[in-house]
Amino acid sequence: MSLKRIVEDTDTFAGRLFDAVVVGVILLTIAAFSIETLPDLSPETLELLRRLEVFSVVVFTIEYLLRLLVADRKLTFVFSFFGVVDLLAILPFYVALGVDLRSIRALRLFRLARILKLARYGDAMARFRRAAILVREELIAFLGTAMVLIYLSAVGIHYFENAAQPETFASVFDSLWWAVVTLTTVGYGDAFPVTAGGRMFTFLVLMAGLGVVAVPTGLIASALTRVREEEQAEKQALAAEEKVVAVIETALYVADLGRSVEFYQRVLGFTRAMEPMERMAALDVAENQVLLLFKQGASVEPTVTPHGTIPSSDGRGQQHVAFGIRPADLDRWRSRLHDADIEIESVVDWPEGGHSLYLRDPDRHVLELKTSTWRGRPLDFGVSQ
């Protein structure tokens, strides 16, 4: 198992444990930061909080260095959003080692960047991040429009109310606060119009304010829906790729071929899929599944046919299983096996239709990936099968 897979993925127990430890330390340090603000803490409590801070910084430093180590593009990671967040999570501690933080107390606020680290460890946050990126252009355009609307509202209320309330609406800059709280429909009540024109103008601003709140909400909501649909489509596409869709045939090696055929027909109700041969019989088990019975020792040598060679087996127990794959996936299976350093021992082009790729498992059992059923029908099943 690679270190990169542990640090960046969550599909292994080690990866999930790594994420759980980091998330736990994040929550612990957030709680400690909040406790520090309580008055009259005892020296023992302060010492415990200091040790928790050192412990969390050590963990976050190790995490940062590991992520930097496994990053494919290290400089890109350093200047990425999460790279900057990870650095800010530990920077105040190391700066404090050489600088008296009493002179730069604002730097302590950078410790709150640890909260942002949680965005890396949640599907919901990741989905929200994808949604924001999806509609970022619309949000930027709307933000610009909202800024213009706030300014025009400040100018308008200043025009209507300056004469009646010269102290409250002394300038456009004083009116900007009123414009912000009114457009966002907060309405603190510290500044309000008293003239008829100002009140009518305020009504129009409030109507526009509903859009200021509703538009970004609608954009994010629709984007979240699209992200969810894309994730479902990605999962379905992933499931559709290189999927074994059926067990086509299973082979057993038996001492007495005739006796075994009689047993499976009489006791289990299997029927003949073909007339028995000297060393092999085929019995129908279920739809698209066949049981092959080989006489022990019959396939110690490879079976050579005009269409290809079937690899040998040593005739001990279950030695051969055939799995169905879609015809369209044949080349992708070749590439997948090649990338996994698995040798394709033989390829057979069946006269009744379809192709078979033969390989061996670690126990030297023969595995067959076949694009057709026993009778040559293609295996174009859906992903649910």
| DSSP annotation of 372 | B
Segment 211-236 shows an average pLDDT of: 79
Phi, psi of 248 (to 5 degrees): -85, -45
**Overall CATH class of domain 246-370:** alpha beta
Q: How far apart are CA 337 and CA 279, in angstroms?
A: 31
Exposure on the CB side of residue 274, measured as CA atoms within 13 A: 13
Closest by CA position to 162, among listed 152, 172, 150: 172
AA letter at 63: E
Residue 231 pLDDT more than 70? yes
**Overall CATH class of domain 136-240:** mainly alpha
Taking CA atoms, 236 is separated from 196, 217, 225, in Å, by 61, 29, 17
Q: What is the pLDDT of residue 358?
A: 92
Helices (H), the chain: 3-8, 13-36, 43-70, 74-78, 81-96, 113-116, 123-134, 136-161, 172-183, 196-240, 257-267, 330-339
Question: Are 69 and 28 a contacting pair, CB within 8 Å?
Answer: no
Segment 286-313 shows an average pLDDT of: 78
Fold topology of 3-121: Four Helix Bundle (Hemerythrin (Met), subunit A) (1.20.120)
Residue 102 pLDDT more than 70? no
Closest by CA position to 370, among listed 329, 331, 323, 336: 323
As given in the structure block, the two tokens for residue 222 are: 């629709």
Q: How far apart are CA 137 and CA 150, in angstroms?
A: 20
Give 376's contacts (C-beta < 8 A, 6+ positions apart): 350, 352, 353, 354
Q: Percent of the chain having pLDDT more than 90?
A: 2
Question: In this structure, is the dihedral angle defined by the CA atoms of residues 157, 161, 162 and 168, taken in order, positive or negative?
Answer: negative
AA letter at 96: A
pLDDT in tens, 304-325: 777 788 787 766 666 777 888 8
Question: Are 253 and 296 a contacting pair, CB within 8 Å?
Answer: yes
Exposure on the CB side of residue 208, measured as CA atoms within 13 A: 20
Parallel, antiparallel, or unpaired for β 355-360 and 346-349? antiparallel
Mean pLDDT computed over every residue of the chain: 79
Segment 114-127 shows an average pLDDT of: 66
Q: What is the pLDDT of residue 126?
A: 72
Q: What is the pLDDT of residue 383?
A: 41
Residue 351 pLDDT more than 70? yes
Q: What is the pLDDT of residue 239?
A: 58
Dmax (CA) of the chain:
111
What ranges do the domains of the chain cover? 3-121, 136-240, 246-370
